[in-house]
Structure 1
Amino acid sequence: MKAVIQRVTNARVLVNGEVISEIGKGLCVLIGICNNDTEEDLKYISRKILNTRLFEENGKRWMKSVKDMNYEILCISQFTLYYRLKGNKPDFHHAMGGERAKEMYDQLLATLGKDHNPDKIKDGVFGAMMNVQIFNDGPVTIEIESPVKAVKLDDKEAESSNS
């Protein structure tokens, strides 16, 4: 599982021109789910989203997490995070498909809500074409991937290219 986390002053999601979700200060998180992700990966990503210190306190940077500050989180499912380029064309065969991905994504949202304030967890519409408006604060953007997956994907690709 992969998360691209952006510290924002505000963010919102529109589908067909209609605002579906919006947040004030907090994090906008793009979530990619790999085809072999497990609950262990989900828990890792959830813990990192909630506890990574991206906010300042008393003028000192990197002191507080979104959870510490009781800020909001806007999650957006984004299968394109698990791309591999084949020439100039992206290939998404590492991304988890359809219904399984939606179940895992919904479980991630539930886990974030359980470990934070459920009213502070917002999301877009799974599988929809979305317009995501992000007002990046800093700008601060980091990428986190569950460690087991990053190694396994790279090893499998190395094996296939050596064959």
Structure 2
Amino acid sequence: MRAVVQRVTEARVTVKGDVIGQIGPGLMILVCAMQGDGEPEADRLAERIAKLRIFKDEAGKMNLSLRDTQGSVLVVSQFTLAADLRGNRPGFSYAAPPAEGRRLYEHFAARMRAEGFATETGEFGADMAVNLVNDGPVTIWLDTATL
């Protein structure tokens, strides 16, 4: 699985003008299931993100995890993270098929909840508008193929 993790002061996702997920300080996570991914990859990704020390401590150093700060999570499906850019028009054949992608997306979000985080989500497959205030900015790219 692939993810782009952004430290935020706030984030929200809307579908057709309605806010369907919203958080204050925490992490906005764009996530994509790749061909061949399963629950072990989703679990490993969630565990890794939960432990990332990317929040500032009292000395201003990135030394605290989401758990330390008691932040929230907004998880948004993002199949374009699987883009194949061999040409000028991206292809997405590396992404998991939609039904499997949805299942793993929902599993990942449930896993973040199981880690103890207040977790909001977008809507899988929907045309979403995502708004966020990136804190830092801090943006981390993760791929379970390299974790």
Output the TM-score relative to the length of structure 2: 0.95
**Aligned partners of 2:32 and 2:101 also within 8 Å:** no
C-alpha displacement at 1:83, in angstroms?
A: 0.7
Aligned partner of 1:59 in structure 2 is 59
Aligned partner of 2:72 in structure 1 is 72
Three-state SS of the structure 1 residue aligned to 2:80 is helix
Aligned partner of 1:142 in structure 2 is 140
**Aligned partners of 1:124 and 1:130 also within 8 Å:** yes
Three-state SS of the structure 1 residue aligned to 2:94 is coil
C-alpha displacement at 1:104, in angstroms?
A: 1.0
Aligned structure 1 segments of 4 or more residues deviating by more than 2 angstroms: none
Alignment of 1:73-88 (within 5 A): 73-88=73-88
Aligned partner of 1:153 in structure 2 is none
Aligned partner of 1:19 in structure 2 is 19
AA paired with 1:96? A
C-alpha displacement at 1:41, in angstroms?
A: 1.0
C-alpha displacement at 1:86, in angstroms?
A: 3.3
C-alpha displacement at 1:69, in angstroms?
A: 1.1
Gaps of 5+ in 1: 151-163
Alignment of 1:9-158 (within 5 A): 9-117=9-117, 120-147=118-145
Higher relative contact order (CA 8 A, sep 6+): 2
Question: Aligned partners of 1:87, 1:63: CA distance in 2, in Å?
Answer: 40
**Aligned partners of 1:29 and 1:74 also within 8 Å:** yes
Gaps of 5+ in 2: none
Which stretch of structure 1 is more off in the superposition, 54-63 or 22-31?
54-63
C-alpha displacement at 1:99, in angstroms?
A: 1.2
**Aligned partners of 2:6 and 2:29 also within 8 Å:** yes
Question: Which structure has the larger Rg?
Answer: 1
**Aligned-residue CA RMSD (Å):** 1.3
C-alpha displacement at 1:85, in angstroms?
A: 1.3
Question: Aligned partners of 1:15, 1:39: CA distance in 2, in Å?
Answer: 27
Three-state SS of the structure 1 residue aligned to 2:36 is coil
Three-state SS of the structure 1 residue aligned to 2:110 is helix
Question: Aligned partners of 2:110, 2:35: CA distance in 1, in Å?
Answer: 20
| Number of corresponding residues | 147
AA paired with 1:127? G
